[in-house]
Amino acid sequence: MRIGELGKSTGVDIETIRYYEKAGLLPKPERSSNGYRAYGSVHLERLSFIRHCRALDMPLADIKRLLEFVENPAADCGGIDELIGTQLSRVRARLKSMRALEQQLTALHGSCDTNHSASECGILHELVAAAQGETCACHRKAPNAMIPELSPAKRH
């Protein structure tokens, strides 16, 4: 199959497929007599594997290591477990960060309603205040809230 067919079969953009080839994640395909790349089932399966790993938000370096395990099935799987554990830690850290961001945006959203002009908008006032180095609503400590207090250098 040609690169367009491979892309359509896997949902991966053609440029991404070429990038994966250059990065060594996909083996170089054979070339047909007219010079076109000729992909086979090996490419389809490997690209599907990569796509699934990317859907799990795994970095390409980790995917490359996983592919090394695929190619060496006798290897101890402890490294695989470690890779997934590390990815799980990354996801948990991002979730914690996203929860804090949600709380900050909720606090900012609560500083305005929609029944007045932009010049009276509490959200804009808060954002302008933050730009001027003041503490904004989204970084004020609320009782029992987990909104991090940032130093002036780290504010918006």
pLDDT in tens, 57-112: 999 999 999 999 999 999 999 999 999 999 999 999 999 999 999 999 998 888 88
pLDDT in tens, 48-63: 999 999 999 999 999 9
Which pLDDT score, from 0 to 100, does residue 56 have?
97
User: CA 4, CA 37: separation in Å to the nearest integer?
Assistant: 10
Q: What is the mean pLDDT of residues 17-39?
A: 93
User: CA 120, CA 12: separation in Å to the nearest integer?
Assistant: 47
Confidence of residue 141 (pLDDT cuts 50, 70, 90): low
Q: What is the mean pLDDT of residues 9-13?
A: 96
For the chain, give every domain's residue range: 3-71, 99-154
Closest CA to 20 of 42, 57, 50: 50
Q: Which CATH number fits domain 3-71: 1.10.10.60, 3.30.465.10, 1.10.1660.10, 3.30.390.50?
A: 1.10.1660.10
pTM listed for this prediction? 0.73
Which pLDDT score, from 0 to 100, does residue 147 have?
41
